[in-house]
Amino acid sequence: MKQGSTFSRIIWKLIVSVILGVLMYFGSGAVGFPPAFQWMFVSYVGLGFLVFLLLDAPPLPRLSGWPAGVALLLFYALLSGAYIWGASAWPQYDPEVEKGKIKKLLKRKLERFQASQGRVDDLLQQVKALEGASAEVLARLSNFAPVMATPASINLPEGRAMTVVDRGREVYELYECYNCHKLGGKGSVKKRGPALDNIGSFLTVEDIKRKVFDPTYLYAEGFEKEHKGGKGKMPDKYKELMTDEEVMALATFLTTLKNPMADPPTPRPVFVKSNVEHGFIVFGYVRDAAGKPVPGIEVHVMPKKKGGHDAKGKTNVSGYYEIFMHMHNEDVGVTVSVSAQNSTKEFVTEYDPNDKVTKRQKSLDLVIPSAS
């Protein structure tokens, strides 16, 4: 009875061990262990089975004396032998060989990575090539259809005018005209010069060009004092600084400014015919007895002083004349005679020698009794 139960217990342990072994094998395989490890786990189950068998083994007779020592040594040799055999029974691994294998694995991965990088490089190159091609196509398109270019394109006749005006605005900013002039209510905090919002209603491109290059050419009405001098005087440095292209663009830009409603308003320009300090202008109309204008007639002006020079001019179709006389500050009070044919008039020059701004001039009409 005791024998049978021992046998059935061994069978029972065997069955459990086989089930455990099978579970171990597939379980470790499922988790990703290589076959060698799968078998190693199975062998552990086998070892466990052996240990449990030993538990059921009948007790050995008690030994003493030297047989006990011999038995101990035998047992030790048996265990050692079992271990050595077990260890050598398993497949052996050389670390160098393993390193080589790992290197090979990594190399293949690296190669695959580099290959994919190469593809990326290829793609980038293709993108570049496409970009080049599209730029070429755009360039060719713009040859055919300039309208496709930017709005400020110089290919458009209207665009060209736009560009000059824009350029003029740029020159205006560049030379800081805004320091003394207001435009659209902006600039000239110190109110030195007039607002220019309506200057295009008064001045031509040529006028503005001359004013910028020679500020004495004209002055803004009401700004005589500023024109004369002082801190806020318009500088006369632009002639040296500006190129022809710049002053043309600037003048073109300013002639586009035509806002009569601007506040503050743009003052009218007063033309200075010549440097007032050295000149005096006599102007007026020559008519016949019937009041009809006499065109093409010669008019003479003569300062009645020692060394005075005769100056002359001719009337235009309207019978209007304008004669510039050379006259200095000290010539104030000199009598001047004006004559056309047999008609003569005289006047005395009146001006403030210290006023270097206000035009020195005299309006004088002549009547010719008998037009030929």
Site residues for ligand HEC per CB under 6 A? 175, 177, 179-181, 192-194, 199, 208, 211-212, 215, 219-220, 223, 226-227, 232-235, 238, 250, 266-267, 269
Of the pair 213, 320, the CB lying nearest ligand HEC is at 213
The tokens for 357 are 């701004």
Q: How far apart are CA 189 and CA 53, in angstroms?
A: 111
How is the beta sheet containing 335-340 ordered, strand by strand? 311-314, 298-303, 335-340, 343-348
Instruction: Compare residues 40 and 165 and give the one whose CB is closer to ligand HEC.
Output: 165
Task: Report, in Å, the least distance between residue 168 CB and ligand HEC.
Answer: 9
**Minimum CB distance to ligand HEC smaller for 357 or for 366:** 357
CA 165/CA 254 separation, integer angstroms = 8
Beta carbon of residue 117, minimum distance to ligand HEC (angstroms, whole number): 60
From 274, 302, 297, select the one nearest 285 (Cα to Cα). 297
Nearest to ligand HEC of 266, 361 (CB atom) = 266
Q: Could you tell me where the beta strands, DSSP code E, fall in 58-181?
A: none
Q: How far is the CB of 234 from ligand HEC (least distance, A)?
A: 3
In this complex, which beta carbon is closest to ligand HEC, that of residue 194 or of residue 313? 194
CB of 173 to ligand HEC, least distance (A): 10
Instruction: Choose between 257 and 311: whose C-beta lies nearer to ligand HEC.
Output: 257
Q: How far is the CB of 256 from ligand HEC (least distance, A)?
A: 13
d(CA 285, CA 367): 8
Sign (positive or negative) of CA dihedral 205, 210, 215, 217: negative
Distances (CA, A) of 354 to 217, 325, 332: 19, 19, 11
Residue 97 sits at φ, ψ, to 5 deg, of -65, -40
Amino acid at 53: L
Minimum gap (Å) between residue 264 Cβ and ligand HEC = 11
Q: Give the nearest distance from C-beta 249 to ligand HEC in angstroms.
A: 11
Please, which residue, 194 or 319, has the CB nearer to ligand HEC?
A: 194
Tokens of 316: 């235009």
Local structure of residue 329 (DSSP, 8 states) = G
Contacting residues for 170 by C-beta, under 8 A, at least 6 apart: 249
Is the alpha carbon torsion for 232, 237, 242, 247 positive or negative? positive
